[in-house]
Amino acid sequence: MTLKIARMTVKELEEAIRHHNRLYFELQKPEITDYEFDQLVLRLKKLNPDSPVLSEIPPDFSVEQKEFRKVSHTSEMLSLDKCYSEKEIQEWAEKFEGDLIASPKIDGCATEIRYNSKGELILAATRGDGMVGEDITANARMIRDIPQKIPSGPPFSKGGAEIRGEIYMKLSVFKKYKREFANPRNLAAGAIKQKDPRKTRDYQLSFFGYDILGLSLKSEGEKIELLKSFHIPTVEARQIPKEKMQGTYDYFLSKRDSWDYETDGVVFKVNQVKEQERLGFTAHHPRYAIAYKFQGDSGVTTLKDVEWSVARTGVITPVGVVDPVQLSGASVTHVSLHNYGLMKKLGLRKGSKVLMMRRGGVIPNLESVVEAGRGAAIEMPKKCPSCGFATELIDDFVYCTNKGGCRKAKMEELEHFIKVIECDGFGEKLIAQLYENGFVKDPADFYQLKREDLLELERMGEILATKLIGNIQAKRQLPLDLFVRSLGIRELAKHTSKILVREFKTLDRILKVGEEELSAIHTIGPVIAREVVEGLRKRRGVIEKLLRHVTLVGATPRTGSPLREGPFFGKKFLFTGSLLAMERGQAEKLVEGKGGEIAGGVTQDLDYLVVGDGGGAGSKLDKAKKLQAKGGKVQILSEGEWRKWVGL
């Protein structure tokens, strides 16, 4: 400790700490070393350990973080749907009414920032997998654009607010790193995950806010104005009618080179929140927003033929064979045509001249028909290309009618199961051999394989056979979300499977869920709910067979029955927002221990919605208030009220 610090009074120490705290965290212009700052703090702690200034130092700041803890988002951080043409954006706009908000799509790192009811920053988290991110609070405090405190009061709720946006690196800053790093986005992603927050500060990252959750705002325009009042930077945004979408896209494209940040398109979002709620979500993206991407490399080629491929669900998908065309440095000869209905709509024929584009520089896509041509019309296959059974057309999709018996569909199902459970060694050719020789017809059959079975196959030695048996036996314990995803049900991919496990906890509960309850969950609409519920019903036999061989890890045993007594018996609870006193899982177990049931969403039969005091209540709170206004029975409790009720 220096002699100067040793002679400072309590008042002088407090003033110095406040001054340097602001320089360090808010202005990012430190005048003293971290060691000197620590000495000021230690001296004040010794002279006046109850000084209020000590509480102003961010509690999450440490010079070296060993790891970033996992954080559950209050509502899923979804990706945006994408389109690449004026025709596509027009078709999307036909689904809703009213104006839009248009803004450049920043190529950065999606981030969640939470503020409590006093307006104090309490959490920053990465997007992660959309449901669970990583706590980067200490590092986010190093970004000047992210305020440590925002104005509280109206329109703040009791739970505070959650701001979502993009952390990015300005192009002017990236210039000094461009020889070492491919692009500013990748560098920003690494910079925000530095173990030493001071290194994050040195990268001079920036932040744009684009959304606010937890507040009852009526439009995107209101959100933008509120963000500005918080002194949070926002990108240029324009409120426009639908007929000006293409013109606005062209305007932003013309300005692209003048901006000090990377953009890869224009985001169009329905302005009115009420209309957004009507449109809802898919499992992957909100239906009320879309990214109109700046176009990639394109070229015109000729459609020579159409091949048909059978998926595990029995859908027969068309794949176009085209003359080789160079797109983004690669020769493209095949393109997905998605479904038979789309082919008919485009008027595709053999010999059609088509415009191809490599979307995002990666996925080849047929954009439009330039010239229809005079070749033969492309007919729907009458028989399945795999098993020869008759086909049927349902909506826009062609299906094989040999349900459960089509070889290609079965192969796809078995390959999907092995891929999801991540079992090494069982490749496409080996699975085909096992199927053809009658050893494996269903996923459960993998667990009944014997070394002697494998030794009957071509090119199979004893060492490899032993290793393969060991690999599959090592997969007898499966996490519940992995198990339900391995079933190969349409719309039941990684995202939806995690939601099912988070909301319903046990396989028994998942199997009993109905369409209404499932569709009430944020990001799961009626289409996904219908596919999942119907798929689980059809796969019940497969599930029962698998459960004879596998144990579900982290799931309540299927034989367990809910507690049929206790003060909460017969009542349904749901938690929303960030709980301060405990983790959400602990709170839910406490409810279940008292006989209560955890609901999957805000529906008519919900009894209590508990709002966490840590902020970010989101759409569940809004839905509950609307149900109350219509005479619904749901009661809304704060976390504090609920804790008193349960005696905590």
Catalytic residue list? 105
What letter represents residue 14's amino acid?
E
Separation CA 546–CA 227 (nearest Å): 51
Q: Euclidean distance between the first and final Cα of the chain, in Å?
A: 44
Separation CA 31–CA 535 (nearest Å): 63
Cα dihedral value 546, 551, 556, 560, nearest 10: 70
CB 348 within 8 A of CB 413: no
Q: Do you find a cis peptide bond into 562, omega within 30 degrees of 0?
A: no
A 10 A CB-CB count for 373 gives: 17
Separation CA 250–CA 266 (nearest Å): 10
CB 584 within 8 A of CB 598: no
Q: Ramachandran region of residue 296, left (φ > 0), alpha (ψ -120 to 50) or beta?
A: beta
**CA-based radius of gyration for the chain:** 28
Separation CA 133–CA 69 (nearest Å): 8
Task: For helices 428-436 and 407-421, give the axis angle rounded to 10 degrees.
Answer: 130
CA angle 375, 378, 382 (to 5 degrees): 145
User: How many residues are present in the chain?
Assistant: 648
Q: Which residues pair with 115 in a beta bridge?
A: 121, 161
CB 356 within 8 A of CB 367: yes
* Cα→Cα distances 298→151, 316, 318, Å: 49, 27, 21
CB 159 within 8 A of CB 117: yes
Helix (H) or strand (E) holding 631: none
Nearest to 164 by CA among 264, 73, 274, 83: 73
For residue 513, the Cα-to-chain-centroid distance in whole angstroms is 22
CB 206 within 8 A of CB 167: yes
* Cα→Cα distances 76→89, 172, 619, Å: 24, 33, 11
Look-up of token digits 């017809």: 441
Nearest to 648 by CA among 620, 615, 616, 613: 613
* Summary count for the chain: helices (H), strands (E): 25, 24
Cα dihedral value 379, 382, 384, 387, nearest 10: -150
Q: Which two tokens stand for residue 26?
A: 């808010």
In eight-state DSSP terms, residue 379 is: P
* Cα→Cα distances 595→69, 570, 586, Å: 31, 7, 15
Q: Which residues pair with 611 in a beta bridge?
A: 576, 638
CB 363 within 8 A of CB 82: no
